[in-house]
Amino acid sequence: MGGGPKEQAKWEVQLGSLLDGIRACEGKTVVELAQVLLRACRRGLAELVAILDGMDAPRVISQMSEATREVAMEYDEKRRLEVVFADDVAWLSKILARVSEQMACTVVAARAVAEGLDEAMGHRFAQCFRGRVLDIGEEEVFPVDPDEMTTLFGRSGLVPSNESRSGKKLDALNHLELSPKDMRGIQVRMDWQLEDSFVFLKKKVRLGIGLPNANPLEELQWDRETVEGKKLFFNVRPKDRALQEKRVLDLLEEGEREGLALMVFPELSLDAMGVDAVRGWFRSKAHHLRLVVAGSQHVSLSDNEGLKRRNRCVIFLRGGRETVHFKFNPFSFVDDKDDDGRLVEVRREERINVSPRMLTLQMSGAQARTFLICKDFLHDDTLRLLQDFRVGFVCVAALSPNGLVFEKLSSALTDLRQSCVLVANTVGPSGANEILGLLSRPLRKVPTYVVRRKDACPPVLLSVDLTPSDIC
C-alpha cells in the first residue's frame, strides 16, 4: 500500500463516499449498514485481494483484526438492537476514518468493520427479515446460515462447499451476502411469511416421489396448434382424468401410511380438477405429510394484461396454506401428429407466458428452499442464482425424456453449494436408463439416490430419507 498524494486522494474520496452511505443508515437496521460496507468491499474487491495477498499482508491483517474486535466488543457489550442510532454512526465513522488513514486504504477499513458487525450480531441478522416478502435487486443483502448443512448432516461426512475449498468471499460475511451484480433477467423473491411451514426440513425426515404415469405419450393428451408458423402445444392433461386422480390419491394415501413428510409429483401430472382433489385430500386426511408439491398443470389465468397461459405448480402446506411457482423456461418435444391429426413427426414448443421470470425462495430464518418446474432448473441463469443465493433445498417437478441432465446438474449444485436437490420425473418405457427420481445430498459416503426407469414401473411411490440413518 502506498501513501503518496495520488493514493491519499483516492482513499479520501472513497472514504467520503462510504461515510455518506453510513450516515444515511441512521434509523435503519444494522443489516442495511452492513450492506453499505459490503458494497464498498465489492467495489474495491480487486484492491482488497491484492493487499491481502501482498508482502504487507501480516501487518494489514493484524490491524484489521484489531478494528474487527473493537467493533464486535462495542456492539456485544451494549447489546444493541438491530437499529442504527446517531451515536453508532458517529462512532463507526471515526473507526472507518482512523483505519483508512492507518492503511491508506478505505476498502480494508470497510471489510474490518463489516466483520466486526457480523461477529457481534450476525446470528441476529435474519430477524431483520422475518415476516417480510422482498424482491431482491442487484447488490442487495440477504441472510445466510453458515451451519445449515452441518446442523442437518453433521460435519464429518459433509462434502466441503466450493467456497470452503477456495477461501472466503471478501464481499460477503458469514451471516450475510450480497446478491449478484447481474440478476440475469430473473426476479428473485424471498418470502418469510410461510417460514414456520418449512421448519420440518431442518429435521430428519423422509421424502416421497409420487409417479402416477408409466407412459406419458399414451396416458396424456394435449391441444395442438400453429401460430405464426410455430408448432405449439398446451393444455396437457390425463386422458382418463378419473383414473389419474385415483392414482394420485392412492399414492398420497401410501405416503401418509409410510409417515412421509413431503411428497412431490412430476410436471403436468395433474389438471386443475386433480389439483382440487389433492387440496381436499391434504386438508382433510394429511397427518404425517407436511407438504405436497402437486406436480404442475397448464392453466389460463386473467390479469390486468389479459389472458395468460401458464404452467403452474401448486405447493400445499399445513394450515390451509398454499404457494405457487410459475414456469419460466418452456420446453419442446417431437410430437407424432400434426394439428389435423395426421401421423407426422413435428417439433412443438410449449405455449406458455413466461413473464415475469420469478424465482421464489421460501425462507426459514436464513435458510432458502425453492420449487421449480423441469427446464427452469436446467437453465444456466437459474443454476447460477441458486448458487448465488445459497439455496439449500431445491425440489423439481419434471417431465423429461432426458433425465440424465438432471442427475449431472443436481450433483454439480450439491458439490458447489452443498444443496439438496429432489427431482420427480415422468419418462416412458423407452428411456430405460433415464431417472424417475433422485435426491442429491452433500455427503461423502452416501451416493446420490437415483431410481431409473428400468428399476421401477409407475404408478409407484419412491421414498428416501433426507438424512440417512447411518450418518445420524
- Taking each helix axis from N to C end, the angle separating 5-23 and 86-103, rounded to the nearest 10 degrees, works out to 170
Could you read off the pLDDT of 215-237 as tens digits, one per residue?
A: 999 999 999 999 999 999 999 99
Q: How deeply is 364 buried, as exposed, middle or buried, from its count of CB atoms within 10 A (0-12, 13-18, 19+)?
A: buried
Distances from the Cα of 121 to the Cαs of 53, 75, 159, in angstroms?
28, 8, 28
Neighbours of 239 (CB within 10 A): 10
Dihedrals phi, psi of 336, to nearest 5 degrees: -100, 5
Q: What is the DSSP letter of 160?
A: P
Classify 436 as helix, strand or coil.
strand
Contact between 297 and 272 under an 8 Å Cβ cutoff? The reply is: yes
Distances from the Cα of 347 to the Cαs of 10, 138, 232, in angstroms?
59, 37, 8
Distances from the Cα of 19 to the Cαs of 42, 47, 59, 72, in angstroms?
16, 19, 25, 19
Report the C-alpha gap between 442 and 16 in whole angstroms. 44
Closest CA to 247 of 287, 205, 290, 281: 281
Domains and CATH numbers, the chain: 5-128 (no CATH), 187-471 (3.60.110.10)
Contact between 139 and 39 under an 8 Å Cβ cutoff? The reply is: yes
Instruction: Determine the straight-line distance between the first and last CA of the chain, rounded to whole angstroms.
Output: 50
Could you read off the pLDDT of 384-427 as tens digits, one per residue?
A: 999 999 999 999 999 999 999 999 999 999 999 899 999 999 99
Residue the block writes with cell 440478476: 183
Closest CA to 173 of 53, 66, 65, 31: 31
- Taking each helix axis from N to C end, the angle separating 106-121 and 45-52, rounded to the nearest 10 degrees, works out to 90
Could you read off the pLDDT of 253-284 as tens digits, one per residue?
A: 999 999 999 999 999 999 999 999 999 999 99
Q: According to the 3-state scheme, what is the secondary structure of 323-378?
A: EEEECCCCCEEEEEECCCCCEEEEEEEECCCCCCCEEEEEEECCEEEEEEECHHHH
Question: Which amino acid type is present at position 276?
Answer: D
Residue the block writes with cell 461515510: 19
User: Can you give the pLDDT of all 472 residues of the chain as single tens digits?
Assistant: 555 666 666 778 889 899 999 999 999 999 999 999 999 999 999 999 999 998 888 999 999 999 999 999 887 765 566 788 898 999 999 999 999 998 889 999 999 999 999 999 998 899 999 999 999 999 999 999 998 888 888 877 788 776 654 457 899 999 999 999 999 999 999 999 999 999 999 888 999 999 999 999 999 999 999 999 999 999 999 999 999 999 999 999 999 999 999 999 999 999 999 999 999 999 999 999 999 999 999 999 987 666 899 999 999 999 999 999 999 999 999 999 999 989 999 999 999 999 999 999 999 999 999 999 999 999 999 999 999 999 999 999 999 999 999 999 999 999 998 999 999 999 999 999 999 999 999 998 888 999 999 999 999 999 999 988 654 4
Report the C-alpha gap between 159 and 434 in whole angstroms. 26
CA 135-136-138 angle, 5° bins: 140
Region of residue 31 (left: phi > 0; alpha: psi -120 to 50; beta: else): alpha
Q: pTM for the full model?
A: 0.94
Q: How deeply is 456 buried, as exposed, middle or buried, from its count of CB atoms within 10 A (0-12, 13-18, 19+)?
A: middle
Contact between 410 and 438 under an 8 Å Cβ cutoff? The reply is: yes
Contact between 388 and 163 under an 8 Å Cβ cutoff? The reply is: no
Could you read off the pLDDT of 278-326 as tens digits, one per residue?
A: 999 999 999 999 999 999 999 999 876 668 999 999 999 999 999 999 9
Q: Where are the alpha helices (DSSP H) in 104-207?
A: 106-121, 148-153, 162-166
Sequence-ordered list of residues with C-beta below 8 angstroms from that of 419, at least 6 positions apart, any chain = 386, 391, 392, 393, 394, 413, 440, 442
